[in-house]
Amino acid sequence: MGKQMTEMLKGTLEGIVLAILSVRPAYGYKITARLREQGFSDIAEGTVYALLVRFEQKGLVDVVKIPSEKGPLRKVYSLNAQGQEYLEEFWRTWSFLAGQLDQLRGGGR
């Protein structure tokens, strides 16, 4: 992945994963696979797990352990009220930034 993308993901990946969780609960492995399908080609496994741990520590998610059909236990994460709140703030921040960028891009031509 490009270095620009790597840096741009800081702060954004968090929101992306929260948004994914807001649609439906999911576990790390699945989230990583989904991100890769969506074009974030080399998101590292460890990256998502670290993120999920942080969510848990901040109290943004609830966790349930569910047996997998194949392999070790899955840790299924779901967004709780606080996480929803946090996600909304993320969207506000993102909107502002995207607005500014659009303006700059338009003005630059």
Partner DNA sequence: TACTGGTACATAGTAACGCTGAATAGAGGC
Partner DNA sequence: GCCTCTATTCAGCGTTACTATGTACCAGTA
- B/e letters for 80-89, b = 16+ CB within 10 Å, e = fewer, are eeebeebbee
Give the residue, chosen from 23, 69, 106, 107, that forms a contact with DNA under the rule CB under 7 A: 69
CB of 31 to DNA, least distance (A): 8
Q: Which residues pair with 26 in a beta bridge?
A: 77
Note whether 52 binds DNA by CB under 7 A: yes
With binding defined as CB under 7 A, does residue 30 bind DNA? yes
Taking alpha carbons only, the member of 79, 97, 99 closest to residue 19 is 79
Work out whether 97 is an interface residue with DNA (CB under 7 A): no
108 binds a second copy (CB under 8 A): yes
